[in-house]
Amino acid sequence: MKRTFNVSYIFSSWEFQKKWISPLLFILTIGLTLPVAESKIVPIQSFHQTKTVAIQSGDTLWNLAGKYYGQGQQWRLFRKDNRFTNPNLICPGDNLRVRLNAPIGSGSTIPLSVGTFPVMFSAAKFVDVAVLEYEWDGKKHQMTNSEFVTAFQDLPGYRQENYNNEEGKVEYLQELLSEKLKLLAAESAGFHEDEDLLHKAEDYRNQLLVEKLTEVEVDEKVAYTEPELVDYYEAHKEEYVEEETVRATCVSLLDENKAEEAYAMLQEGDDIAEIAEKFKNDLRGPGDGPSDPGNTGFFTRDASENWMPFVNALFDMEIGVVTEEQMELDIGDDVYYLIFRKEEQKPSRQETFDEVKDSIVTIIEQQKKRERILSWVDEVTKKGKLKLYPELIPVPDKPTEEEAAEETDGEDADQTEETSKEETE
């Protein structure tokens, strides 16, 4: 059967039509920046009376209080489970829990000193604006404003930034349409009943369940104290020592002629930093960064085994001293020609507790998680009354010497045949 689809309301085909951009932007502007334009009637019950409240676009909690309970009434508390940006506007999907000094009778109220009564507010069932409608195999589908906003806000922050304007929201709406059509096509092809896919989905579901259980039973039950962290630091102080480091200005070249030119400039009194700047496009090795030519940055004595002659010489020099001779280093197939000046040296030092606290927290958490996992597995094992019967697991018979020899001969023959084919080719 031929599969067909038709996209209306906003889209008319796979290709986005320019003539629909303006209506879509208008719909998105209304749908994404304001509450819905209409809603169903939602009942609100107080302790003494029942009010029927119609929530309209732009209504706030304070507007409702004034409209239905009089301007003098005090709404003492309201909380809103709101996925949207404005905390005062009432939007699709909001769950409101409100307390107020509810009216007893006409024109009278309960004083604040007597207490407050809860106002029960059920989740509003709004007539949600459709921002997308499409048709597949004769069946109509749509996406509402709240569904779009929920999908958008479920995106990682960096992706939301990519669509952080009206054109971006149009682009994301197109992507959602493409995803939904692909899913419908997959279902039409029967993939939703594919046993292999269902098995993989079940495996993934089980994995998520175990991860959630682990989060509850392990992660949330791991706790540590500041003294524990300090004790670990004191017991492992030797692991938190910064090694001594050194920094130099170095001109390292592979071209022997340019290296001789650089060395001649040094002999004539040119500053080595100026020499590094002159040859910045030819530098190779320590100090070859184009943004700061010659600067090696700080490094330790064990920074590189290949460059040990350079490293040792630099650590043994005095600060401000320039090499008198050009150094040659054979590394692999290359010969490096170096001249350098020692700029700074930092002695080794003990890192403070505050500097390494975060890394210690990670270590302690990992240790405690391992301990908790072992304890938890033991609890689960005892609760499940686990019994193992390894002796019942069938063990494959070992091949006889004759069978093993035949198998080896067969493999050798196959290898010989493959080799002959390769040689022939």
Strand partners, 8: 133
Look up the CATH number of the domain holding residue 275.
Answer: 3.10.50.40
Does 148 lie in the same domain as 72?
no
- Parallel, antiparallel, or unpaired for β 130-136 and 139-144? antiparallel
Is position 167 within any domain?
Answer: yes
283 phi, psi to nearest 5 deg? -65, 140
User: What percentage of residues in the chain have a pLDDT greater than 90?
Assistant: 41
- Dihedrals φ, ψ of 54, to 5°? -100, 115
What is the phi-psi region of residue 190: left when phi exceeds 0, alpha when psi lies from -120 to 50, beta otherwise? left
Structural domain containing residue 65 = 37-121
Question: What does the pLDDT read at residue 422?
Answer: 57
Please say which residue of 191, 206, 225 terminates a domain: 191
Whole-number pLDDT of residue 48: 31
Query: CA-to-CA distance for 294 and 262, rounded, in angstroms?
Result: 13
Distance CA 402, CA 320 (A): 78
- Which pair of tokens denotes residue 67? 């409209």
Residue 348 · residue 280 · CB < 8 Å: no
64 shares its domain with 138: no
pLDDT band at residue 394 under the 50/70/90 scheme: confident
* Cβ count near 124 (within 10 Å): 20
Contact predicate 148/166, CB 8 Å: no
For 44, the 3-state DSSP assignment is strand
E-strand ranges in 124-189 read 130-136, 139-144
Task: Reply yes or no on whether the pLDDT at 256 is more than 70.
Answer: yes
C-alpha distances (whole Å) from 314 to each of 31, 208, 288 are 67, 55, 17
Contact between 296 and 287 under an 8 Å Cβ cutoff? The reply is yes
* CA 342/CA 19 separation, integer angstroms: 68
Q: Is the pLDDT of residue 307 over 80?
A: yes
Mean pLDDT of the 24-42 span: 35
Residue 389 lies in a domain: no
Both tokens assigned to 48: 């003494």
User: Rg for the chain (alpha carbons), in Å?
Assistant: 37
Residue with tokens 């004083």: 111
Whether the Cβ atoms of residue 173 and residue 10 lie closer than 8 Å to each other:
yes
d(CA 232, CA 242) in angstroms, rounded, equals: 18
Least confident of 200-209, 327-336, 392-401: 392-401
350, 378, 405 - which closes a domain: 350
Of 258, 245, 265, 254, the C-alpha closest to 322 is 265
Same domain? 69 vs 23: no
Is the pLDDT confidence value at 94 over 60? no
Same domain, 57 and 19: no
Confidence of residue 407 (pLDDT cuts 50, 70, 90): low
* Cα–Cα distance for residue pair 121/140, rounded to 1 Å: 33
Residues 67 and 137 reside in one and the same domain:
no
Residue 4 near residue 145, CB atoms below 8 Å: no
Q: Same domain, yes or no, for 41 and 99?
A: yes
Q: Which of 86-100, 136-150, 360-374 has the lowest mean pLDDT?
A: 86-100
**Tens-digit pLDDT profile for residues 153-176:** 788 888 888 887 878 888 888 898
Which of 71, 102, 121 marks a domain boundary?
Answer: 121
Within a 10 A sphere around the Cβ of 272, how many other Cβ atoms?
22
Q: Which residue has the higher pLDDT, 251 or 144?
A: 251
DSSP for 111-139?
Answer: -TTT--EEEEEPPP---PPEEEEEEETTE
Amino acid at 210: V
The number of C-alpha atoms within 13 Å of 358 and in the hemisphere containing its C-beta is 1
Q: Are both 335 and 253 inside the same structural domain?
A: yes
pLDDT category, 148, cuts 50, 70, 90? confident
First to last CA, the chain: 48
264 and 338 both lie in a single domain:
yes
User: What is the C-alpha to C-alpha distance for residues 329 and 286, in angstroms, rounded to an integer?
Assistant: 12
With respect to residue 400, please indicate whether it lies within any of the assigned structural domains. Answer: no
Position 424 scores a pLDDT of: 53
- 205: its two tokens: 């579901």
Q: Is residue 83 part of a domain?
A: yes
Residues 337 and 251 in one domain: yes
In a domain, 417, yes or no: no
Q: Name the helix (H) or strand (E) containing 371.
A: helix 353-383
- 166 and 106 within one domain: no
Could you tell me if residue 201 is inside a domain? no
179 and 150 share a domain?
A: yes
* Residue range 103-128: mean pLDDT, rounded: 35
Q: Is residue 160 part of a domain?
A: yes
Report in angstroms the alpha-carbon separations of 153 from 147, 172, 332: 10, 12, 54
pLDDT for res 167: 85
* Cβ proximity of 95 and 81 under 8 Å: yes
Determine the Cα–Cα distance for residues 130 and 10; give it in Å rounded to an integer. 10
Verify that 133 and 27 share a domain, yes or no: yes
Average pLDDT, the chain: 73
Residue 98 lies in a domain: yes
**Number of domains forming the structure of the chain:** 3
Average pLDDT of 55-69? 50
